[in-house]
């Protein structure tokens, strides 16, 4: 295991989408950091901005979206690189993407081409980012396929992705993501489409590889069962903002933000009757018509007048636990409503 150190520090990140209907503030002032050797789970309902946040880290936000302000500081050797300020198609960000920071997706065919064999795609990534020859890269590809527990990797290396099962494709994508020993792996709902058994196997595999490689793992999910299994720390996101962050035990046992509390209450439990389910009331607001004040106020059982008028700042419950809610004493300067 390597010593934990900060490898990504995100400050007041804002990503907006400029559409004909108006501007969607998909990411609206996110602060977060990621440490090597640790697993941070980014959780929240669909559409709250989790995936866009992580795409911004790799400079792959799709138009009409773009980073409008903020910093994404990536600590690499003795260098600090601000990814938010790099041209998205520039050489520098391309040298980071796939080498220093890799990403795996829910759907493996997002990153695996059906036109080339699994081996060719891994070999291409290795030769693009390292000095290894094609032969050496092929050896490494077979080794990686073996590491992700693909049976008979010497044969599978020459197979096309569509010939593999969903679970095997996911393993091949993980092998490709690990091919250049990344410092950080971003996993965007990588097990959501898999059956429960395969899901458990893939999660175990990812944690074992993280331990071996000492990399940071940023895991995006809406599944709190997965979070409970793998997270060291949890960041809860709602409508483009991190509303609570703490270690996993604290989030599960002593959540402070009403949205986190509602998420936890909504988890179905074994032997629970249908009428006992407690889903979060209301819907995520239309991104073009955000409420004034706290984004969660139309759904919050504790909403006060101030919540409908002013955006809460950050409160430190303790050194490792932050929450953005008017129920707690504010220790940062508040933002203006609608800012």
Name the 3-class secondary structure at 198.
helix
Cα radius of gyration (the chain): 21
Q: Which is nearer to ligand SF4, 233 or 244 (CB)?
A: 244
Q: How do strand 315-318 and strand 6-19 relate by DSSP bridges?
A: unpaired
List residues bridging with 18 in a β-sheet: 23
Site for ligand SF4 in 317-336 (CB under 6 A): 325-327
Shortest Cβ 241–ligand SF4 spacing (Å)? 11
Distances 118 to 89, 114, 166 between C-alpha atoms, Å: 25, 9, 14
Q: Which is nearer to ligand SF4, 140 or 256 (CB)?
A: 256
Q: Which is nearer to ligand SF4, 57 or 296 (CB)?
A: 296
Shortest Cβ 60–ligand SF4 spacing (Å)? 31
Q: Which is nearer to ligand SF4, 88 or 313 (CB)?
A: 313
Shortest Cβ 300–ligand SF4 spacing (Å)? 3
Shortest Cβ 302–ligand SF4 spacing (Å)? 4
Q: Is 264 in the site for ligand SF4 (CB under 6 A)?
A: no
Q: Is 238 in the site for ligand SF4 (CB under 6 A)?
A: no
Q: Is 258 in the site for ligand SF4 (CB under 6 A)?
A: yes
Cα–Cα distance measured from residue 236 to residue 259, given in angstroms and rounded to the nearest whole number: 8
Distances 197 to 201, 219, 238, 263, 269 between C-alpha atoms, Å: 6, 19, 30, 24, 19
Shortest Cβ 242–ligand SF4 spacing (Å)? 13
Q: Which is nearer to ligand SF4, 86 or 300 (CB)?
A: 300
Shortest Cβ 299–ligand SF4 spacing (Å)? 8
Site for ligand SF4 in 104-143 (CB under 6 A): none
Binding mask 269-308 for ligand SF4 (x = CB under 6 A): -------------------------x-xx--x-xxx--x-
Cα–Cα distance measured from residue 294 to residue 27, given in angstroms and rounded to the nearest whole number: 15
Cα–Cα distance measured from residue 308 to residue 286, given in angstroms and rounded to the nearest whole number: 16
Q: Which is nearer to ligand SF4, 183 or 297 (CB)?
A: 297
User: Does residue 99 have a cis bond before it (omega within 30 degrees)?
Assistant: no
Shortest Cβ 26–ligand SF4 spacing (Å)? 20
Neighbours of 74 (CB within 10 A): 24
Q: Which is nearer to ligand SF4, 207 or 327 (CB)?
A: 327
Q: Which is nearer to ligand SF4, 93 or 307 (CB)?
A: 307
Cα–Cα distance measured from residue 258 to residue 191, given in angstroms and rounded to the nearest whole number: 27
Helices (H), the chain: 50-57, 91-96, 118-129, 134-147, 153-156, 166-177, 196-213, 224-230, 248-253, 258-265, 305-309
Q: How many residues bind ligand SF4 (CB under 6 A)?
A: 13
Cα–Cα distance measured from residue 244 to residue 230, given in angstroms and rounded to the nearest whole number: 18
Q: Which of 215, 312, 314, 315 binds ligand SF4 (CB under 6 A)?
A: 312
Shortest Cβ 294–ligand SF4 spacing (Å)? 3
Shortest Cβ 175–ligand SF4 spacing (Å)? 42
Q: How do strand 216-221 and strand 22-35 relate by DSSP bridges?
A: unpaired
Binding footprint of ligand SF4 on the chain (CB under 6 A): 258, 294, 296-297, 300, 302-304, 307, 312, 325-327
């Amino acid at each position: 295991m390597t010593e934990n150190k900060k490898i990504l520090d995100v400050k007041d990140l804002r990503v907006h989408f400029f559409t004909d209907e108006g501007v969607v503030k998909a990411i609206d002032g996110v602060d977060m950091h990621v440490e090597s050797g640790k697993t941070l789970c980014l959780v929240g309902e669909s559409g709250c901005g989790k995936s866009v946040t992580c795409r911004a880290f790799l400079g792959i936000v799709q138009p009409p979206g773009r980073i409008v302000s903020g910093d994404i500081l990536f600590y690499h050797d003795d260098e600090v690189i601000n990814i938010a300020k790099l041209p998205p198609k520039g050489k520098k960000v391309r040298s980071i993407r796939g080498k220093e920071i890799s990403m795996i997706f829910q759907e493996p065919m997002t990153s695996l081409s059906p036109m080339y064999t699994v081996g060719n795609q891994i070999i291409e990534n290795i030769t693009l980012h390292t000095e290894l020859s094609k032969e050496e890269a092929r050896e490494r590809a077979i080794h990686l396929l073996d590491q992700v527990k693909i049976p008979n990797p010497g044969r599978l290396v020459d197979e096309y992705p569509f010939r593999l099962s969903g679970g095997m494709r996911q393993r091949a994508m993980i092998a490709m993501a690990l091919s250049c020993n990344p410092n950080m792996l971003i996993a965007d709902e990588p097990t959501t489409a898999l059956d429960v058994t395969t899901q458990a196997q893939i999660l175990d595999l990812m944690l074992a590889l993280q331990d071996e490689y000492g990399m940071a793992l940023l895991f995006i999910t809406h599944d709190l069962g997965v979070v409970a299994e793998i997270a060291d720390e949890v960041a809860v996101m709602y409508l483009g903002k991190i509303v609570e962050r703490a270690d996993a035990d604290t989030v599960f046992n002593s959540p402070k933000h009403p949205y986190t509390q509602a998420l936890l209450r909504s988890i179905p439990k074994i032997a629970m009757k249908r009428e006992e389910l407690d889903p979060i009331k209301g819907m995520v607001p239309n991104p073009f018509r955000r409420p004034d004040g706290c984004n969660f106020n139309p759904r919050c059982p504790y909403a006060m007048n101030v919540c409908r008028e002013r955006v809460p700042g950050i409160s430190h419950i303790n050194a490792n636990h932050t929450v953005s809610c008017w129920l707690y004493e504010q220790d940062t300067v508040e933002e203006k409503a609608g800012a």
